[in-house]
Amino acid sequence: MKQISAIIEQLDATLAGEWPDTAGIRQFSYSLQKQPDTGLLEWLSAQPCYPKFYWQQRDGNEEAAVCGDAYAFGDTAQAQAFIREHQDVPDLHIWGLNAFNGADNSAFAANALFLPRIELCRQGTRYWLRCTLFSPRSLREEARRTRLFLRSLVASQALPPIASRVLQHQHLPAQPQWNQLITRALNCIEEQQFDKVVLARKTTLTLSQPLNACAFLAASRAVNHHCYHFMLAFTPQQAFLGSSPERLFLRSHDELYTEALAGTVANDPDDDKAQDLGNWLLNDGKNQRENLLVVDDICQRLQGGAQSLDIMPAEILRLRKVQHLRRSIHGELTESDDAGCLQRLQPTAAVAGLPRQAAREFIAEYEPFDREWYAGSAGYISAEQTEFTVALRSAAVKGHHLELYAGAGIVAGSDAAQEWQEIENKAAGLRTLLEEHYTPAVQAG
């Protein structure tokens, strides 16, 4: 990536000039004249700086690799206020994650949102590099720190092969406890405490060596199509990543796009068999009810914040291991309020349940682990456009361990064995990337 190195040198020379010893913000953008020699994820993997975030929109048209934090934000409202305060800098993008429990969980950070120092971006076939300086105290000092940061950047390298072997795995809950949890949930549904609850499982894989998060995400991106691909790496051995099919919301100016993704059946490599399964899903009462519960909840939550809601007919989203029912929803926002949209829509009924508060209380009391980033959201905020995906089909890389997450919606008529198979199918989207090393007979604990 010689052209990137040349841009970095040009930027370094610019930053070497005189800067005021006062608060301020500056941004520099450079177009790349041709496509880089290697991909953005390869470039990001080579960089020694943290945090770093990768994003690819599910249609593949938008991609970003960003690193270094010029400024970090405690919540989405702070990030939104920052962008509004600096409207004279139109290309500010704040990237990162929002936790499932948000501010409800004081033991875990609610957000990991940051304004990056460097962004390498692609839209279609157009590439550019953006550098942002911000300091609440001294731009002169920030320019000095940014020059040191730029000098730490290195040339892109090929991603390493995935060499980690799975030594053992542990489900939480294990299947007997899962069956008990489903029975408890069904009893609560029968007692009308709630209509639906989404229960999840965490599978911890113990690996022979630490997993390269960028290489693992690249392997997922290669086979898990029609998905958002995202990764936030906190340190060399700690990252959260996923390949999620579900949009939480896209805001383009005052237009809002969201969706109900609920109802699942297995996929099949044979197109005719896959179509038969998809047709069954379109006509299955239990799955249609589950999807429509999510649609109704989204529409209710958007009351007062959006108008003229249009709900598209149900369609089948075919993924590598599963197929889903999806209904797209479009509306006009009463005001461009990303923090408000996030508060209204996260978590959706597709990942928590209905009524939302009662379902969340059940999850908090009986699910045997903290979801942290799983089923939260990943994406970016900017003045013109904001987009978040629901953090599904996701995993936490933690040194010699890989934590895989999957969930299933429980409604009246749900069967514990079928729901267990559903989360097996969902987790397989990432687990099978290690399949040649995966030995399901070895169970920890």
Q: In this predicted structure, what is the pLDDT of residue 348?
A: 87
Q: In this predicted structure, what is the pLDDT of residue 363?
A: 97
Sign of CA dihedral 332, 337, 339, 344: negative
Average pLDDT, the chain: 92
Rounded CA gap, 405 and 417, in Å?
A: 18
Which H or E element spans position 235? strand 228-235
Rounded CA gap, 323 and 244, in Å?
A: 13
Residue 412 has pLDDT above 50, yes or no: yes
276: CB partners within 8 A, 6+ apart: none
422 is in an annotated binding site: yes
- Looking up tokens 């456009």 gives 385
- 104 pLDDT band (50/70/90 cuts)? low
Q: In this predicted structure, what is the pLDDT of residue 443?
A: 39
Q: In this predicted structure, what is the pLDDT of residue 330?
A: 97
335 is in an annotated binding site: no
Is 196 catalytic? The answer is yes
Rounded CA gap, 210 and 22, in Å?
A: 43
Is residue 325 within 8 Å of 287, Cβ to Cβ? yes
Tokens linked to 138 = 């001294």
Q: In this predicted structure, what is the pLDDT of residue 417?
A: 95
Q: In this predicted structure, what is the pLDDT of residue 129?
A: 96
Cis peptide, bond prior to residue 210, ω within 30 of zero? no
Q: What is the pLDDT of residues 185-215, one digit of tens each?
A: 999 999 999 999 999 999 999 999 999 999 9
What pTM, to 2 d.p., does this model score?
0.93
Of these residues, 52, 196, 321, 426, which one is catalytic? 196
Tokens linked to 18 = 């005189």
Backbone torsion region of residue 167, taken as left when φ is above 0, otherwise alpha when ψ lies between -120 and 50, otherwise beta:
alpha
Average pLDDT in the 260-276 region?
A: 93
Backbone torsion region of residue 279, taken as left when φ is above 0, otherwise alpha when ψ lies between -120 and 50, otherwise beta:
alpha
Of these residues, 119, 246, 259, 367, which one is catalytic? 246
Tokens linked to 8 = 């970095």
Residue 438 has pLDDT above 70, yes or no: no
Residue 444 has pLDDT above 80, yes or no: no
Rounded CA gap, 319 and 227, in Å?
A: 8
Rounded CA gap, 379 and 395, in Å?
A: 16
Q: Structural domain boundaries of the chain? A: 2-152, 168-228+261-437
Residue 379 CB burial class (10 angstroms; 0-12, 13-18, ≥19): buried
CB environment 237-260: b (16+ within 10 A), e (fewer): eebbbbbbbbbbbbbeeeebebbb
Rounded CA gap, 71 and 135, in Å?
A: 8
Residue 280 has pLDDT above 70, yes or no: yes
Q: What is the pLDDT of residues 220-260, one digit of tens each?
A: 999 999 999 999 999 999 999 999 999 999 999 999 999 99
Is residue 233 within 8 Å of 178, Cβ to Cβ? no
Q: How far is CA 30 from CA 49, 70, 153, 254, 438, in A?
A: 21, 18, 17, 28, 44
Which H or E element spans position 341? helix 338-345
Q: What is the pLDDT of residues 343-400, one digit of tens each?
A: 999 998 889 999 999 999 999 999 999 999 999 999 999 999 999 999 999 999 999 9
User: In the CATH hierarchy, which top-level class contains the domain 168-228+261-437?
Assistant: alpha beta
**Spatial CA neighbour of 40 closest among 4, 88, 8:** 4
Kindly compute the dihedral angle of the four CA atoms of residues 184, 185, 191, 194, in this order, to the nearest 10 degrees: 160
- 440 pLDDT band (50/70/90 cuts)? very low
